[in-house]
């Protein structure tokens, strides 16, 4: 059995979440081939070998420099066949998730999304999937011979296991119908740490009293190398852009550390952060429900506590 792993790139670099998908496939114990679409630097491709892929396929069709869902799915389905793979592993993301679904239908595979653990093959093939927005897990038996597995961020530990991968070109047959959607523009915060992938997140709520006070959170975030987020009310009233909204209907984050400032902790917000490893809550209201979901808490005024925290982190470096 061979496993194909779809690796995504951003700004010419293979994404960490995709490397986690490679590590997951490697841990399954079979031969791992990765595939990258669009133009990516060769050194980046060979480096995928470190996480367990022996070979990396590259498809340098310029039309694939943008993530067109059905075209990507068409290439992956063809690569699965060419490699005689029966499993596709990828990282769940705004691109990976719909691509996974499309591929699963094309090849008649069982599909599981948001998988958080390695398969249990003692009786059938069972994976653990995060459900109810992180509030529960399901044990999902994948019954078909072909399988598509979407990995949730931070589900596997990233460790180096190998050397360079060999890189070879793969040619796919694509039709105009595969490019039925045209991407006309992409707006992306460059240079910043992306919220969905950040290891540390600093979020602010209505307790910040206004967008003009975000500077202290940005200073803290910068000191920590963190991304900034916010609660739903904050993005609803336009203090912060929508893509920073963390919660049930916004971005779900899974960082090592989540720092919530002036956020009371409505259950809808908690749904977006409950996959965080550690949670720090700073709130002037000792009764804020968020403290019950936190690992560490400080009752105090954000405007004095946050700058003190930034200074303390700087001092400890």
Residues 161-190, interacting with other proteins (CB under 8 A): 177, 180-189
CB of residue 278 vs other proteins: minimum separation in angstroms? 5
Q: Is 122 left (phi over 0), alpha (psi -120 to 50) or beta?
A: alpha
Tell me whether residue 32 or residue 151 sits nearer to other proteins (CB atom): 151
Tell me whether residue 26 or residue 70 sits nearer to other proteins (CB atom): 70
CB of residue 190 vs other proteins: minimum separation in angstroms? 9
Site string for other proteins, 66-105 (x = CB under 8 A): -x-xx--x------------------xxxx-xxxxxx-xx
CB of residue 236 vs other proteins: minimum separation in angstroms? 8
Question: Of 22-30, 34-42, 201-209, 242-250, which part binds other proteins (CB under 8 A)?
Answer: 242-250
Question: Of 29-37, 41-49, 52-60, 271-279, which part binds other proteins (CB under 8 A)?
Answer: 271-279
Tell me whether residue 32 or residue 216 sits nearer to other proteins (CB atom): 216
CA-derived radius of gyration, the chain: 21
Q: Does the footprint of other proteins cover residue 237 (CB under 8 A)?
A: no
Residue pair 200/223 in contact by the 8 Å Cβ criterion: no
Distance CA 286, CA 213 (A): 22
Question: Of 36-44, 45-53, 80-88, 286-294, which part binds other proteins (CB under 8 A)?
Answer: 286-294
Distance CA 104, CA 120 (A): 21
CB of residue 57 vs other proteins: minimum separation in angstroms? 22
Residue pair 17/197 in contact by the 8 Å Cβ criterion: yes
What pairs with residue 111 in β-bridges?
A: 148
User: What single-letter DSSP state applies at residue 189?
Assistant: -
CB of residue 104 vs other proteins: minimum separation in angstroms? 7
User: What single-letter DSSP state applies at residue 207?
Assistant: G
- Ramachandran angles phi, psi of 69, nearest 5°: -55, -55
CB of residue 157 vs other proteins: minimum separation in angstroms? 14
Task: For residue 246, give both structure tokens.
Answer: 């963390």
DSSP 35-73: EEES---HHHHHGGGGGT-SEEEEE--GGGGS--HHHHH
Tell me whether residue 26 or residue 197 sits nearer to other proteins (CB atom): 197
Site string for other proteins, 6-45 (x = CB under 8 A): ----x-----------------------------------
- Polymer length in residues for the chain: 317
Interactions with other proteins, residue window 98-157 (CB under 8 A): 98-102, 104-106, 108-114, 126, 129-144
User: What single-letter DSSP state applies at residue 268?
Assistant: H
Number of residues interacting with other proteins: please give it, by CB under 8 A: 94
Interactions with other proteins, residue window 288-317 (CB under 8 A): 291-301, 304-305, 308-309, 312-313, 315-316
Distance CA 192, CA 198 (A): 10
Tell me whether residue 30 or residue 179 sits nearer to other proteins (CB atom): 179
- Ramachandran angles phi, psi of 223, nearest 5°: -60, -35
User: What single-letter DSSP state applies at residue 85?
Assistant: E
């Amino acid at each position: 059995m061979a496993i194909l792993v779809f690796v995504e790139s951003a700004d010419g670099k293979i994404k960490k979440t995709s490397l986690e998908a490679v590590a997951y496939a490697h841990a399954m114990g079979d031969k791992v081939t990765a595939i990258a679409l669009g133009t990516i630097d060769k050194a980046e491709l060979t480096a995928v070998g470190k996480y367990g892929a022996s070979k990396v396929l590259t498809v340098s069709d310029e039309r694939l420099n943008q993530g067109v869902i059905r075209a990507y799915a068409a290439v992956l389905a063809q690569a699965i066949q060419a490699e005689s793979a029966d499993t596709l592993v990828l990282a769940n993301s705004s691109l990976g998730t719909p691509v996974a679904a499309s591929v699963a239908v094309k090849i008649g595979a069982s599909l599981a999304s948001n998988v958080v653990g390695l398969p249990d093959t003692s009786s059938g093939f069972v994976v653990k999937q995060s459900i109810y927005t992180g509030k529960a897990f399901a044990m999902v038996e994948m019954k078909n011979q072909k399988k598509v597995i979407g990995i949730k961020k931070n589900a596997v530990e990233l460790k180096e296991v190998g050397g360079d991968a060999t890189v070879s070109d793969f040619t796919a047959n694509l039709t105009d119908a595969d490019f039925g959607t045209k991407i006309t523009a992409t707006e992306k915060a460059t240079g910043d740490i992306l919220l969905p992938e950040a290891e540390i997140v600093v979020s602010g709520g209505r307790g910040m009293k206004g967008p003009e006070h975000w500077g202290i959170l940005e200073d803290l975030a910068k000191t920590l190398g963190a991304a900034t987020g916010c609660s739903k009310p904050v993005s609803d009233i336009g203090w912060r852009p929508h893509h920073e909204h963390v919660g049930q209907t916004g971005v779900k984050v899974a960082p090592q550390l989540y720092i919530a400032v002036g956020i009371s902790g409505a259950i809808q917000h908690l749904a977006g952060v409950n996959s965080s490893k550690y949670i720090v809550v700073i709130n002037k209201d000792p009764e804020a429900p968020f403290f019950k979901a936190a690992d560490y808490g400080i009752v105090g005024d954000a405007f004095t506590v946050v700058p003190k925290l930034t200074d303390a982190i700087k001092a400890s470096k």
